[in-house]
A and B are shown apart, each in its own frame.
Chain A
Amino acid sequence: KQEVTQIPAALSVPEGENLVLNCSFTDSAIYNLQWFRQDPGKGLTSLLLIQSSQREQTSGRLNASLDKSSGRSTLYIAASQPGDSATYLCCYGQNFVFGPGTRLSVLP
């Protein structure tokens, strides 16, 4: 059964720091991986989608990498801002298995 885990479960950083969120999955089959952010009481917003044939994607201050051989993906956020505060979830696999999320707080 596909499992997706995320570390850390929660993270609090001062504004301006660079940070890395981690996502691990057990199924090494070739699927896409997607990162989302979720604001309290809201739905999910897609941030980056890494196709199975790609190794990374970038959008603004966000960079996501995918290493299928090790079953890992990382989301790198540069120069964090208070507006980045949210829960970040990764999603992988044929049945779109989600990790439990990392709750990020960026302090002014």
Chain B
Amino acid sequence: NAGVTQTPKFRILKIGQSMTLQCTQDMNHNYMYWYRQDPGMGLKLIYYSVGAGITDKGEVPNGYNVSRSTTEDFPLRLELAAPSQTSVYFCASSEGGGQPQHFGDGTRLSIL
């Protein structure tokens, strides 16, 4: 099993551009999450989903959008990139809300 796969691994954007960070999992997990991690900081939850068609905001949702049309995929969309969104983005999944989370290797995003 591949687990949680994130693409791309690195990306540089210009201010105002848009992009989608891809996340897919092959473990048939119901729950999926998007986090961002700034240097020297812990992770902050952006959005999460408890199943296909259901999404909810986390601690820092502003500037981001998500969708969950299938169990496997949970893409994160940045519409108007801003320098404050420079960060490392991690996607995770879990079987349920009280189960261990499995993480992808992250997408390192720089906005200049």
Contacts and interface: CB of A to CB of B under 8 A. Distances in A.
A binds B: yes
Interface residues of A, number: 22
Contacts of B98: 32, 49, 51-52
B42 A45 contact: no
A35 B101 CA distance: 10
Nearest to B106: A43
B59 A46 contact: no
B1 interface: no
B99 interface: yes
A78 B32 CA distance: 33
Contacts of B105: 41-43
Interface in A28-59: 32, 34, 36, 41-46, 49, 51-52
Nearest to B105: A43
State which size class the interface on B falls in: 20 to 34
Interface string A68-108: 00000000000000000000010100011111110000000
A97 B43 CA distance: 7
A100 B41 contact: yes
A43 B103 contact: yes
Given A42-B105, A43-B103, A95 B42 contact: no
Contacts of A52: 98
A21 interface: no
A36 B35 CA distance: 14
B42 A49 contact: no
Q: Which among B44, B98, B102, B104 has the greatest number of chain A C-beta atoms within 10 A?
A: B98
Interface of B: 4, 33, 35, 40-45, 48, 58-59, 90, 92, 98-106
16 contacts: A41-B106, A43-B104, A43-B106, A44-B92, A44-B101, A44-B103, A51-B98, A52-B98, A89-B43, A91-B43, A95-B58, A96-B101, A97-B42, A98-B42, A98-B43, A99-B42
